[in-house]
Amino acid sequence: MLNQKYKDIADYLISAEEEKREVLKVTAELKPDLTVEEAYQVQNEIINKKLEEGRKIIGPKMGLTSQAKMTQMGVDEPIYGYVFDYMLIEEGGKVPFHDLIHPKVEAEIAFLIGEDIEGPGVTGDQVLAKTESVLPALEIIDSRYENFNFTLPDVVADNASTSRVVFGTAFKSPKAFELDLVEATLSINGEVKESGTGSAVLGHPANAIAMLANMLARKGEKIRKGELILSGALTGAVMLKIGDSVSGQFGGLGEVTFTVA
Ligand code: 0L1
Ligand code: MG
């Protein structure tokens, strides 16, 4: 019975994504008492549906990793979602605005995983030892909810607002950088709109990947070799519009760009 309810909520959110239209949050429209645990079951239905359609997982991603976002949402734990192959935009490429609802962009550090990482008890140092490379990325989030208005269970059910990702092309050794000291700026049409450092991500971006491994362990899952994982935003998110030229500068880690067409 409840399983059917989760499937119905998943269909509601998948339709919103496919039809590029915003909807009322699940807790207002379909299930006011949705818990975070149930929301991950809804997310799971969405993931399975995409897999059945032949979509491929690029990797999980962490969201709400900054203290500012957690405080804003009244939560003390980040969330995760999944990035799929159809969400990838090539570096320097075009993001078609009309494929999306009300996109925002944020600057993140991505980890290419070299060995499986299985929780519980994983630490940031263990993550770094099992990371093949790190690279800069711009994540485009696009909540399916009207005005990005949601509660924690709503956003978990909505695959953590995941929509598109532009990965940089320079893969660097994690040993070559103090990732917590990396400074990123996010510019739109040549104007810096947001900036931040790696330490904004749970003190160090590797801590976010460790937390992800530990959260996945609760449901008997692990981070897998070859996954490319977004660790969470260094900067605030900036609203996008047609014609925007977007650039993320990550110091020695490199640059990521795209335009909105
Ligand atoms: O990647 C993220 O941090 C997105 C989490 C969802 C919050 C939002 O849509 O603003
Ligand atoms: Mg993000």
Centroid of ligand 2 to alpha carbon of 220 (angstroms): 24
**Could you tell me the pLDDT band of residue 245, with boundaries at 50, 70 and 90?**
very high
Residue 1 has pLDDT above 80, yes or no: no
Choose among 122, 113, 90, 132: nearest CA to 228.
113
Residues 95-121: tens digit of each pLDDT: 999 999 999 999 999 999 999 999 999
Average per-residue pLDDT for the chain: 96
**Cα maximum dimension of the chain:** 53
Q: Which amino acid is at 243?
A: G
Q: Provide the H-helix boundaries in the chain.
A: 2-19, 26-29, 36-52, 67-73, 124-129, 152-157, 205-217
With a 6 Å cutoff on the Cβ, whether 200 touches ligand 1 is: no
Give the pLDDT confidence score for residue 161 in this predicted structure.
98
Choose among 143, 99, 89, 128: nearest CA to 256.
89
Give the pLDDT confidence score for residue 73 in this predicted structure.
79
Residues 51-85: tens digit of each pLDDT: 999 999 999 999 999 988 888 778 888 999 999 99
Could you tell me what percent of the chain has a pLDDT over 70?
100
ipTM of the complex: 0.94
Centroid of ligand 2 to alpha carbon of 184 (angstroms): 14
Alpha carbons 179 and 54: distance in angstroms, whole number: 35
Residues 121-175: tens digit of each pLDDT: 999 999 999 999 999 999 999 999 999 999 999 999 999 999 999 999 999 999 9
Range of the domain at 212: 2-260
Give the pLDDT confidence score for residue 234 in this predicted structure.
96
- Domains contained in the chain, number: 1
Considering the entire predicted model, what is its pTM? 0.97
Residues 11-65: tens digit of each pLDDT: 999 999 999 999 999 999 999 999 999 999 999 999 999 999 999 999 999 999 9
3-state secondary structure of 217: helix
Alpha carbons 246 and 259: distance in angstroms, whole number: 6
Residue 259 has pLDDT above 80, yes or no: yes
Domain CATH number, residue 204: 3.90.850.10
Give the pLDDT confidence score for residue 135 in this predicted structure.
98
**Could you tell me the pLDDT band of residue 202, with boundaries at 50, 70 and 90?**
very high
Cα–Cα separations (whole angstroms), residue 120 to 40, 79, 221, 248: 18, 16, 10, 33
With a 6 Å cutoff on the Cβ, whether 215 touches ligand 1 is: no
Cβ proximity of 229 and 223 under 8 Å: yes
Cβ proximity of 144 and 158 under 8 Å: yes
- For the segment 193-218, the average pLDDT, to the nearest whole number, is 97
- From atom 2 of ligand 1, which residue's Cα is the shortest distance away? 63
Atom of ligand 1 nearest to the CA of 158: 6
Could you tell me what percent of the chain has a pLDDT over 90?
93
